[in-house]
Amino acid sequence: MTEAVATLPEEARDAFKDPIGPVYTDAERLLADAGSPIVAVGDVVTYHLVAAGHTPTVAVIDGRTERETVTDEVRDGLPSADVSVASEPATVSRDLLEALVAAIDGDGETVVEVDGEEDLAVVPAVLAAPAGASVVYGQPGEGMVLATVDADLRERMRELAGRLETTEAFWRLVD
């Protein structure tokens, strides 16, 4: 069992359903509006960015989309994992958070593969990414959300993170 540093309580799930930025259905349009670095959370989002000619600086993947295994086409179109971590559904594990922060702070491109679920990685990605960065993730049934990191988005994400059950380690790693 992995150590969870953030857990999404059942009563807070609805607060995380609305997109935190504009939704795109065209990866090239999204890339034209994106800042740098790009942090992609999700297999299908990463696949579409790579297919459009741009490998994200950081990609967090888990082999699943909307709770189902990704297609062979998506899996085969993803870059190879550089780091593998475990994180249970509805949590952010310490290993995932440490790998994500290290990838954001590092040089080059990093693919973090999660055994479990990566959905909540958007929260620490926004908190840890530099101003001007783009965090891109999938919005089920709609497309790709482009969240541009700035003071307002960080504050909104801190409020959402406050709805999670977090540990001191979570805040220490994202601040």
- Contact assessment for residue 97 and residue 9, using Cβ atoms and an 8 Å cutoff: no
Q: From the CB of residue 150, how many other CB atoms can be counted at a distance below 10 Å?
A: 14
pLDDT tens for the chain, 175 residues long, are 679 999 999 999 999 999 999 999 999 999 999 999 999 999 999 999 999 999 999 999 999 988 789 999 999 999 999 999 999 999 999 999 999 999 999 999 999 999 999 989 999 999 999 999 999 999 989 999 999 999 999 999 999 999 999 999 999 999 8
Number of C-alpha atoms within 13 angstroms, CB side, residue 125?
Answer: 27
Q: Kindly list the distances between the CA atom of residue 52 and the CA atoms of 3, 45, 55, in Å, as whole numbers in the listed order.
A: 36, 11, 9
- Indicate the pTM of the whole model: 0.95
